[in-house]
Structure 1
Amino acid sequence: MEYNFDDIRPYNDKEIKEKLALLINDPVFDEVLAYIFKERQKVDSVKAQLSMINTIEQLQSTFICELIIRILNNTSGGLTSSGLDNLDKKKAYLFISNHRDIILDAALLNFLIFKNGMTTTRIAIGNNLLLYKWIENVVRLNRSFIIKRNLAPRDLLEASRKVSHFIRHSITKENIS
């Protein structure tokens, strides 16, 4: 069976300008940025930076990395890893988290992978966490794909098949972790 993944897949470089424009103009996203960065001047600077981004990789290497570094500096004594040098940078992998923190686990893994010169992974996220459209836009811009959870049992089974095919397609056809 052939699946159309448009409703669950991450956004791509062709969609980034449109989706970033939606975020930049979203008043709730503006409030989130104000909470994170505190100063209006910094919020405006971040929005200007976002408006100049043209690729997902550019988004991750600037805005997302800066955000992760800010989180690490404010909440921890640092972040270390080992074993990434054992991975072939040209191959795709399936990483599974123990689910301590749904968003942060994947963000930290991708930060380490990116800093190690590898392409960041796609990240599964349940639609139950996507309370607002701006959240969906942010996570899909950051290479997340959607796991539909609020479905009837039969529909949930079909959605699970679709996600399974998407993951397999990502790894085996697109060579994307």
Structure 2
Amino acid sequence: MDQFHDIRPYNDDEVAGVLENLVETPDFIKTIIGFRFAKWPHWTRGVLNSLVKLVLKRETSKIQCVHDFQMKVADYMERMIKTTTTDVEYRGIEKLTKGEGYLFLSNHRDIAMDPAFVNYGLYLAGLDTVRIAIGDNLLRREFVSDLMRLNKSFIVKRSANGVREMMAAFGQLSSYITHSLTEDHSNIWIAQKEGRAKDGIDQTDPAIIKMFYMSQKKQKVAFPDAMKSLKIVPVSISYEYDPCAFDKANELQEKSTTGSYEKSEFEDIDSIKNGIVGFKGKVVVTFGDLIDHNCDTPEAMVEEIDRQIVANYAIHPSNEAALAMLNGEKSGDKAFSEYIDTCPEALRKTVLQMYANPLIQQQNRAQ
């Protein structure tokens, strides 16, 4: 029996059937039309519906396995990089060994682009792409779940109700991650905490580390040995510009003034879209050092992960300019000053803090 059938990515033999269903899914076709042809007159929708289905059928007929699907994704990544970035740099990737299964524990700024940039770097280096942890809160539309699982995503059941159901979900997740790394020798990408670091402060949630340990704890494996077997590599991803910065600032502002923030139904999907098409400037992905020394407690592991993620975060001129402006100094970066001028006045301090915090974190740890 497949104990991970409801959370794992799709297997090669499932790909063709899933794609056939996707092409016949009205919600999926409607979303593509809305994304690619938003400015076209409404009366063209019927024709576009037929044309999009025809093109998708032709394109998907060539995809027979997960690798084929990811090669299509790589094509889109190349186009996206050309149009939305000034440069993408990978650091530390030469330390990775082909055929090893690594657990890439990453800071989290963008829902889709963080694992996508990690994946693209591994692909360029001739290494295996990652299995991506994604919360079920992002999968309210079935076609989104299908697309993610075709791209080697596995599901984190954040919506589990009650302690018993939650513990069962975390236990299954822990077992799947351990199985992927130690038996399949597959790479895993997972964020250091639930949700994006909207304020620019990167900190690991100890609960993530405790979840990793659950399956091996049942087998009486000592914590340090369990952590070594997972081959944890911290990853720092930094964007010169965050396409979702103003939206994040609005959420932070509303939470600070009213105490809560209610997301609209498809807000996360909009964030994914904006993160893909929005301007990012320079992007730097830094792979840290494999944690192969003893960390005797979850707290010690958290400290080592945070140390590496903060130290390896690539500081951009936008981070330095934001800190200068917060301190009442003149920004030395004209492009960033013009960018801040486009931000609503009420959100400016929050946005500046968001960009300054990675630099502040580095400075605090260096003291």
TM-score after normalising by structure 2: 0.45
Identical-residue share of aligned pairs (%): 34
5 Å-filtered alignment, 1:20-99, equals: 20-38=19-37, 44-61=54-71, 63-99=72-108
Q: Tell me which structure has the larger Cα radius of gyration.
A: 2
CA contact (8 A) 1:37 1:43 kept: no
Aligned-pair distance for 1:24? Answer: 1.6
Structure 1 position 157 matched with structure 2 position 167: yes
Aligned-pair distance for 1:70? Answer: 2.5
Change (3 A) 1:35 1:85: farther
CA–CA separation in structure 2 for the residues paired with 1:46 and 1:84: 35
CA–CA separation in structure 1 for the residues paired with 2:2 and 2:168: 11
5 Å-filtered alignment, 1:133-144, equals: 133-144=142-153
Aligned-pair distance for 1:153? Answer: 2.1
Aligned-pair distance for 1:89? Answer: 0.8
CA contact (8 A) 1:123 1:144 kept: yes
CA–CA separation in structure 2 for the residues paired with 1:156 and 1:78: 41
Q: Which amino acid aligns with 1:18?
A: G
Q: Does 67-76 or 33-42 show the bigger shift?
A: 33-42
Change (3 A) 1:124 1:69: same
Change (3 A) 1:25 1:158: same
Higher relative contact order (CA 8 A, sep 6+): 1
Say what the alpha-carbon RMSD is for the aligned residues. Answer: 2.1
Q: Does 103-112 or 166-175 show the bigger shift?
A: 103-112
TM-score after normalising by structure 1: 0.90
Change (3 A) 1:134 1:116: same
Structure 1 position 173 matched with structure 2 position 200: no
Aligned-pair distance for 1:42? Answer: 7.6
Change (3 A) 1:43 1:113: farther
CA–CA separation in structure 2 for the residues paired with 1:118 and 1:43: 34
CA contact (8 A) 1:23 1:134 kept: yes
Q: Which has the higher strand share?
A: 2
Q: Which amino acid aligns with 1:23?
A: L
CA–CA separation in structure 2 for the residues paired with 1:22 and 1:114: 28
Q: Which amino acid aligns with 2:114?
A: D
Q: Which amino acid aligns with 2:155?
A: I
The aligned residue for residue 264 of structure 2 is none
Structure 1 position 126 matched with structure 2 position 125: no
CA contact (8 A) 2:29 2:52 kept: no
Aligned-pair distance for 1:128? Answer: 0.7
SS at match of 1:175: coil
CA contact (8 A) 2:23 2:56 kept: no
Aligned-pair distance for 1:75? Answer: 1.6
Q: Does 22-31 or 154-163 show the bigger shift?
A: 22-31
Aligned residues: 175
Q: Which amino acid aligns with 1:161?
A: G
Q: Deviations over 1:132-170 (max 9, x none)?
A: 110000000000000001112221111101100100000
Q: Which amino acid aligns with 1:68?
A: M
Structure 1 position 15 matched with structure 2 position 14: yes
The aligned residue for residue 191 of structure 2 is none
CA–CA separation in structure 2 for the residues paired with 1:29 and 1:3: 28
CA contact (8 A) 1:127 1:149 kept: yes
